[in-house]
A and B are shown apart, each in its own frame.
Chain A
């Protein structure tokens, strides 16, 4: 196994840093370790391939935007919109993240150990084999899964009872599903979202995801494999149908 490329990014601007990452991945480097990361934006932006990027510190906004393949593991919190319009690959965040996590994500996985801000998973979408996953260990602020058009959002709500307390869940959702541990108060659902029964089949289907998530963060999965969840799906695939009349 080749030695990882280790970069001390203290005081470095994001542009030369990203250039180094892109060139390294293009030249076949499989593992990159970034130390002393502090607010550098766009890490992994548009990078293709199967490299693993370890980020020690707090990356700036748009971590992994347009990324197609690599895994970024963050030992710290993440800023605004990690996983924005991400295509493939994964972000594993050992901390919390800001607003618009996984915005318009179309494939891959974003795992956040802690909490996320507002508009998490907004407008995530799926197509054929591509089904994006956003999984959250803690809780989420308002408008989780707004305009969601596909994929899965899972909220375990560890240390939070109830798991989610903020409103507007799934406003305008027209595809995909939002799964939240425990019961979700009806008044928290956004326009166009509806709550359906979480079945045993759903649990079987989601168990590998729950186990994978817990595995990445050294959490015992047992309590999450034997509990109830709320499943929130679109009330209609055409939320805006019936709103218009022709001239």
Chain B
């Protein structure tokens, strides 16, 4: 028996009095919601993804969008989504694929953490008047420094490991060319060069358009080893081994053949139109010893001149795993929380596997401190960091720096519609179609992304100044400056913070 159709997700309507039939909505919608018949704009709401491209381009604010215009009988357990997923799988018998990050309404720990400020007993600092030190070094720090005296001169005897120098603790995480368009990646590259920070290339090689910004890039080596050769490794300012991703811990990635166009094929070094399959594990890493071997292999290949990061998804045993990574010669551990974004992930993974970044940062920082190896690796946190408040809290929990992904894409136009995997992104971000890709001007995009980084950096300075701190080192791991807002004792213990009022 036919299951019929499910109700519309979104209902689009046009205020016909306002509409001047400029046709911008028709031209801009890549999902085919609008068409013209007999000089009238007709609407097929079923095709709408709520990407807001038409709304943002309408000069008369004539378009209205309503989510879930049809009510179901409300039920606390059998939510609309639960029912519709069952219907989908009853029809197809397949794995449900979803875009963007975790969409389950889990409590957001960041929103239950409160930052501190000074009152009376110690003065707050005005960042306008006093320098705020946000410079951040990512990489190994020596456990002690040795000097030699030489006729009154003092020379450093300890050999320092290579570090990345960041002007602000905000980096942009790995989104590959292939997953996102070249103008989107180029916007990000220009933005990080402008703001003195770094971006990840993702697994997919480096397009030659990015070469001028390679000193601001972290090249990624993932289980598919796409686009990886010695030239690629030498180009990056640092190298990152991707073991896992917060949005889909424990599984690999598949770039569908449709997205492998000529340029993507050349950058990834795979045939046109073939699926790019990244297996779940790296098949030369089956143990922590094997990981150490890959870290050292990358260092050998690049003459021990580049920091090597290891990125893992935040999973239950994240602290012990990070401690293993810290002992592997790696220079930084990247922890990606379960709210991290993705172009496509099986929904059941995206919504159910892993732990939030807040708990993972605290657990890893504490474990490394307990083992006396916190100086061996920097901690880079990512996965659902939305604003400078989340940034400040991440650092206070113990992170050295953060990666943002979704926030940077929103700065390029993304409205988090979550249809990235369809390759039709009307904002020209998650697509390779020339007519859509050309919607991003990388100079304008770079300006927007740089503005975002700049704005957060200013806010971070203000938050630190208010707390009487003038250097990022004084905020890092300073959990005394955090309080929990209605968090349970178990989580307060993990985060190693007190309750508000305490």
Residues of A bordering B, CB below 8 Å: 14-15, 18-19, 22, 41-42, 45-46, 48, 61-62, 65-68, 80-81, 84-85, 87, 100, 103-104, 106, 119, 122-123, 125-127, 130, 146-147, 149-150, 172, 174-175, 237-247
Residues of B bordering A, CB below 8 Å: 88-89, 91-92, 94-99, 223-225, 228-230, 233, 254, 256-257, 265, 269-271, 274-275, 277, 279, 283-284, 290, 293-294, 296-297, 300-304, 346-347, 418, 421-422
Distance between Cα atoms of A46 and B233 in the complex (Å):
9
Query: Known contacts A100-B284, A174-B274; can you find 17 more A-B pairs with CB under 8 A?
Result: A22-B303, A41-B293, A42-B301, A61-B293, A67-B230, A81-B284, A103-B283, A122-B283, A123-B224, A125-B270, A127-B265, A127-B270, A147-B277, A149-B270, A150-B270, A241-B256, A241-B275
Instruction: Tell me whether A123 and B302 are in contact in the complex, defined as CB-CB below 8 angstroms, given that A247-B96, A247-B99 are known contacts.
Output: no
Q: Are A66 and B271 in contact (CB under 8 A)?
A: no
Q: Are B296 and A41 in contact (CB under 8 A)?
A: yes
Q: Are A62 and B297 in contact (CB under 8 A)?
A: yes
**Within 8 Å CB of B92, what residues of A?**
245
Q: Are A45 and B300 in contact (CB under 8 A)?
A: yes
Q: Are B270 and A238 in contact (CB under 8 A)?
A: no
Distance between Cα atoms of A57 and B224 in the complex (Å):
31
Q: Are B283 and A119 in contact (CB under 8 A)?
A: yes
Closest to A103 in B: B284
Partner of A245, one of B97, B99, B274: B97
Q: Are A237 and B95 in contact (CB under 8 A)?
A: no
Q: Dominant SS at the A interface?
A: loop
Most buried by B among A22, A119, A238, A242: A238
Least CB distance, A166 to chain B, in whole angstroms: 16
Distance between Cα atoms of A240 and B255 in the complex (Å):
10
Instruction: Tell me whether A247 and B97 are in contact in the complex, defined as CB-CB below 8 angstroms, given that A45-B297, A104-B225 are known contacts.
Output: yes
Q: What 3 A-B pairs come out closest when comparing CB atoms?
A: A46-B301, A104-B225, A245-B94
Distance between Cα atoms of A199 and B257 in the complex (Å):
30
Least CB distance, B97 to chain A, in whole angstroms: 4
Least CB distance, B447 to chain A, in whole angstroms: 33
Q: Are A66 and B422 in contact (CB under 8 A)?
A: no
Closest to B347 in A: A247
Least CB distance, A78 to chain B, in whole angstroms: 14
Q: List 18 A-B contacts (CB under 8 A).
A: A15-B304, A46-B230, A46-B302, A66-B229, A66-B230, A66-B297, A84-B284, A87-B229, A87-B230, A123-B224, A127-B265, A146-B283, A237-B275, A238-B257, A244-B95, A245-B92, A245-B96, A247-B96
